[in-house]
Structure 1
């Protein structure tokens, strides 16, 4: 390596190429390791994010947003005006008028999978046999396995109005994420308001 560099005073630069090659190798190896650690952190972060529950899909979140409670069917006798006054809430507002849920029924229903097979899309016809229109319908669908054993329940609030003595068909309503083993469903109306 000393071939003639001594004579012109460049001996100190003779080993520079070797040192530069070693430094470049060290930098490239450490940069590659840093990229691998960054990639591993991204994969772990995405995995954790995918496993976190969505806030908008929970049945409790929908019930909390709607402010609805399940309404019992009205009694056979009509309450007097004095009894209606005693049903006022603590804030002084009148309680919502009761809806006869036994006169609201789902006459036909089907379901299919959507969203790469993980979500349930329900199609049903709702009959309103009441003498008044209803709105803010809350349905609950119970999913079962092929053998009939219960898997899960999913609820959905429908901000629609169904006219009096009529029926309305709701097409492909997403009710939530379901188990892969779900084979059958049975939906029913659990709450509604007078329109």
Structure 2
């Protein structure tokens, strides 16, 4: 008859049918705690970043103005300083698409010049709107290329700037041009 008192005093490592408790090295414990703290800080930091108010505010509307260059001082400067007549210039076709991870507008358009002279430094302004037609933003760009007299020139994928993610439509128009 055995009452089981033979194992008394032998500690927890005696063969009582249980495995001894496992001990982890202190470095792995600190590493796990450090990773948990890092994860907690990332979650809290991300939540704070999402709750911060944006500094963008309302989109600003640009006032479009055409400034004519100063009158020439000599007769030789006449052809380079005169503003071109925009009444005989048009944009005959235009399309746009997104580029740069969807944040930039790339516009493809054709400028038609029916004047009796070539033009250069053509400035365009593109107005971007939402699907419902409400205005979002305006972007402008000066094109340094020359459009010959009584001709047309296609400008492909011209980057006009950053555009709102809600932009659905774009309408570009000519603002200024100079005689070449």
Q: Do the two structures share a fold, i.e. TM-score over 0.5?
A: yes
Take 2:92 and 2:71, find their aligned partners in 1: how far apart are those partners?
Answer: 35
Residue segments in structure 1 that go unaligned for 5+ positions in a row: 1-24, 26-31, 41-46, 52-59, 61-68, 73-86
Task: Determine if the alignment matches structure 1 residue 152 to structure 2 residue 137.
Answer: yes
Task: Determine if the alignment matches structure 1 residue 118 to structure 2 residue 83.
Answer: no
Residue 71 (structure 1) shift: 5.7
Take 1:88 and 1:124, find their aligned partners in 2: how far apart are those partners?
Answer: 31
Aligned residue number for residue 178 of structure 1: 163
Q: Could you tell me the TM-score, scaled by structure 1's length?
A: 0.55
* Contact 2:86/2:176 (8 A) holds in 1: yes
Task: Determine if the alignment matches structure 1 residue 109 to structure 2 residue 94.
Answer: yes
Aligned residue number for residue 7 of structure 1: none
Q: Secondary structure at the match of 1:122?
A: strand
| Count of residues in correspondence between the two structures | 134
Q: Could you tell me the TM-score, scaled by structure 2's length?
A: 0.59
Aligned residue number for residue 54 of structure 1: none
Aligned residue number for residue 66 of structure 2: 70
Aligned residue number for residue 148 of structure 2: 163
Residue segments in structure 2 that go unaligned for 5+ positions in a row: 1-26, 28-33, 43-48, 55-61
